[in-house]
A and B are shown apart, each in its own frame.
With several copies, the nearest count.
Chain A
Amino acid sequence: MKISPIKLIDENGRRIDGRLPHEIRKVKIESGVLKNADGSAYIELGNNKIIVAVYGPREVYPKHQALADRALLRCRYSMAPFSVEERKTPSPTRREIELSKVIREALEPAIFLEEYPRTAIDVFIEVLEADGGTRTASITAASVALADAGIPMRDLVTAIAIGKVEGLLVVDLNGLEDQYGEGDMPIAMMPQLGYVTLFQADGRFTAEELKEAFKLANDAIKKIYEEQKQALKRKYLKVAEIGEI
């Protein structure tokens, strides 16, 4: 564990970027940002900048991977080499491979895959700039991109990280808090249905803190969920306006 060279919570209970413990960073979501993709979304969460494209349902190559009873969901989470402090090698790291898997499993419960047997739905995530919480922001954006692609969903998936900093539970860790804090607990939920679809933890937490984390996450997720819906609405309005011309 690295020892923090800096104080992460100040005497007024403010975090290093001025937020209170339960505050999330500024979030901006746009949908329909790419021309080629069937659906797409762009998210900024603090300094995180992530773009997501969805292709599908479409034919599966190689064909033997196709599933008889549902669509094959594939997910590729990737960080641009320039997205982080030290240049990342362009080939997928073990971290990116694991995250591709857990993000896929976070999105899968929300999609009516059974409506498109023998097809593939591909989710491509590119992190352009990273500053703590890329997996949760990716999930948030990916579910908007899926909806933008017109893929029928049970609910959106909305995600946020709860963290532990100087003994305190805080919401939406930034990069420094992630690096020097005591714990990180990313949570993804289907907000309407109340299901947790991604849940990981790193660091040390008590059972009591788990309970508290869910409460904190709940509030943050509600806010972000509104942003997701707004992003989809704006796109719809834009489309409608153009349609009227």
Chain B
Amino acid sequence: MSSKASEVLSLLKRDVLLGNLKRGERLDGRGPEDYREIKIETGIIGKAEGSALVHIGDTKVIAGVKAEIGTPFPDTPNQGVQIVNAELIPLASPIFEPGPPGEDDIELARVIDRGLRSAETIRLDELVLIPGKKVWTIFIDIYSLDYNGNLFDASGLAALSALLTTNLKKTEITGENIILKEEEQPLPVGRKPVYVTLVKIEDILLVDPSYEEELLADARITFIVDESDNICGIQKGGKKGFKPSEILKAADIAIETATKLRKILPST
């Protein structure tokens, strides 16, 4: 992930990994387009309006959703507010450092945020309480707990799963006064974007990279795919480039993979 991390992989391990890959084998036995095992636990944080802990292999990410009544942005008076925050906390990896969010945290948060916006996952227009004055603000906080590769997909899956299981209190509005009731209702959600990341090592494309594969990767690309196979976001990273043909091939793989991943989403 960070440039510092890229120095960690020993040359020896690098050669072994590369040799295996050229024979179509990944270190953990997967084929190039195989995803690791996924486990999603939802509703685990009682104080949160929604929450999910996602395991992708040994990678663990938790997302929590909090809802507060706030004021809309001046230029979108008839929409709720969505705020995504991601923190690569030092608990999750020896390469993460304490301190305010760095460029990796911020890129991750913004990519998750844009995917949810493009897919209109949170129906922001249905979160208005008093037009122009009071709306729901939905905070999505994403914390990595164990980083072993592919934080983008794990974070996206955690955020989506948390949102799909989020409940908001019903409200009663009289004039300017908002009363929160005990009863709850599900957060209104639109499309469900799935994040699929591939890396490129020399000319090999690998789905769902492990940490070692990320260290070795020349470049990374994430596709955000909705249930109609539309692409709701793309983010390329890494220190080298892709050929256009590689990107198009990666997009096809991502769309296929997303269809499979979609099956394990929690039901709203």
Q: Which residues of A contact B233 (CB under 8 A)?
A: 200-202
Q: Is A63 an interface residue (CB 8 A)?
A: no
Q: Is A115 an interface residue (CB 8 A)?
A: no
Q: Is A204 an interface residue (CB 8 A)?
A: yes
Answer whether A94 and B110 are a contact pair too, CB < 8 Å, given A34-B146, A200-B234, A202-B118.
yes
Q: How many residues of B contact A (CB 8 A)?
A: 69
How does the 8 Å CB contact mask read for A130-156 relative to B, with 1 for contact and 0 for none? Answer: 110000000000000000000000000
| A17-25, A77-85, A226-234: which lies at the interface | A77-85
Q: Which residues of B contact A193 (CB under 8 A)?
A: 241
- Tell me whether B91 and A37 are in contact (CB under 8 A): yes
- Tell me whether B91 and A51 are in contact (CB under 8 A): yes
Q: Is B175 an interface residue (CB 8 A)?
A: no
Most buried by B among A67, A76, A196: A196
Question: Min CB distance, B149 to chain A, in Å?
Answer: 11
- Tell me whether B94 and A36 are in contact (CB under 8 A): yes
How far apart are the CA atoms of A90 and B235 in the complex, in Å? 25
Contact for A35 among B58, B76, B89, B221, CB less than 8 A: B58
Interface of B is mostly: mixed
**Which chain B residues numbered 214 to 268 have a C-beta less than 8 Å away from chain A?**
221, 226, 229-244, 247-248, 251-252, 255
Most buried by A among B44, B65, B146, B240: B146
Q: Which residues of A contact B68 (CB under 8 A)?
A: 86-87
Nearest A residue to B242 by beta-carbon distance? A196
**Which chain B residues numbered 107 to 162 have a C-beta less than 8 Å away from chain A?**
107, 109-110, 114, 117-120, 139, 141, 143, 145-148
Q: Which residues of A contact B107 (CB under 8 A)?
A: 98, 101-102
A1-B117, A105-B238, A197-B241 given; 5 more Cβ-contact pairs under 8 Å:
A36-B146, A97-B103, A129-B45, A204-B232, A210-B251
Interface residues of A (CB under 8 A from B): 1-2, 34-37, 47, 49, 51-53, 55, 58, 67, 72, 76, 78, 80-87, 90-91, 94-95, 97-98, 100-102, 105, 108-109, 122, 124-126, 128-131, 183, 185, 189-190, 193-207, 210-211, 214
